[in-house]
Amino acid sequence: MDTKQHIFKDKQAVAEAFAQYLAEQIAYSESYSIALSGGSTPKILFDHLAKEYKTLIDWSKVKLFWGDERCVPPNDEQSNYRMTKEHLLDYIDIPMSNIFRVRGEDDPNLEKERYAQVLEREISASNNIPQFDLIILGMGEDGHTASIFPHQMELLEDSNWTAVAQHPESEQKRITLTGPIINNAKKICFLATGASKAEKIDAIFKGSSDSQNYPATHINPTNGELHWWIDEAAAGEIVI
Ligand code: 6PG
């Protein structure tokens, strides 16, 4: 697996380094499509971007999408859109027309179809699949990524670009991107921090047989780059 590992002292340092990387990627591009993730590390990243990159990034070039969303209204505490709004969108100058949220309040089966059409319309395709410039992903303690959980491994190969997924414990419905569109991205960046991620990360990097059961293991871009941005706690035993 040709993975680029970026290891930093703690989650704040991961967020700061990644923000700088992101700003450079955007600066070199005429337009830049990003699928965002929920989770604790993106929250810190958004705070840092809001504070330090408000004017350093030309946000009018950026189109924002979501890799997954909980099926709740946009003002719900669980909404990934709400988190992004409160930590980033409220502070930066980005046209509303560049923000493509998943409508978590709508019927999930209709919304997944609508969102797939939005992706087809807004993002140019490669291999007949919309190709994001960048997809930011997290990894849960069970090895899930986006909202592809271990009990729904079939979503890694779903020929539709979006699917309705379900959280294994709460049974909350989610809309998620599927494996084929994630793996078609130009760049995929995992942001994962904290000691609770170390065991899974070690297994994924070593390619252990257990790791085959973790959705995150199967994120391998067809033609793009795979990056893991992690802190020392998540890196665990990995030799730097
Ligand atoms: C979500 C996510 C999810 C998340 C991981 C890691 O909306 O739940 O997109 O895949 O990234 O659960 O979350 P943490 O960074 O909080 O550990």
Indicate which CATH number applies to the domain containing 42: 3.40.50.1360
The answer to whether position 212 is within a domain reads yes
The answer to whether position 240 is within a domain reads no
The answer to whether position 194 is within a domain reads yes
Q: What would the mean pLDDT of 161-179 be, rounded to a whole number?
A: 97
- 39 Cα to the center of ligand 1, angstroms: 4
Residue 1 has pLDDT above 60, yes or no: no
Q: Which two tokens stand for residue 107?
A: 């019927």
For ligand 1, pick from 80, 81, 145 the residue to mutate: most ligand atoms within 8 Å of CB.
145
What confidence tens digit (pLDDT) does each residue in 32-81 have? 999 999 999 999 999 999 999 999 999 999 999 999 999 999 999 999 99
What confidence tens digit (pLDDT) does each residue in 40-54 have? 999 999 999 999 999
Indicate whether residue 143 lines ligand 1 (CB < 6 A). Answer: no
- Alpha-carbon dihedral sign for residues 46, 48, 51, 54: negative
pLDDT at 238: 72
Domain that includes residue 48, residue range? 3-235
The answer to whether position 231 is within a domain reads yes
The answer to whether position 182 is within a domain reads yes
Indicate whether residue 176 lines ligand 1 (CB < 6 A). Answer: no
pLDDT at 240: 54
Please tell me the total count of domains within the chain.
1
Nearest CA to ligand 1 atom 12: 140
The answer to whether position 10 is within a domain reads yes
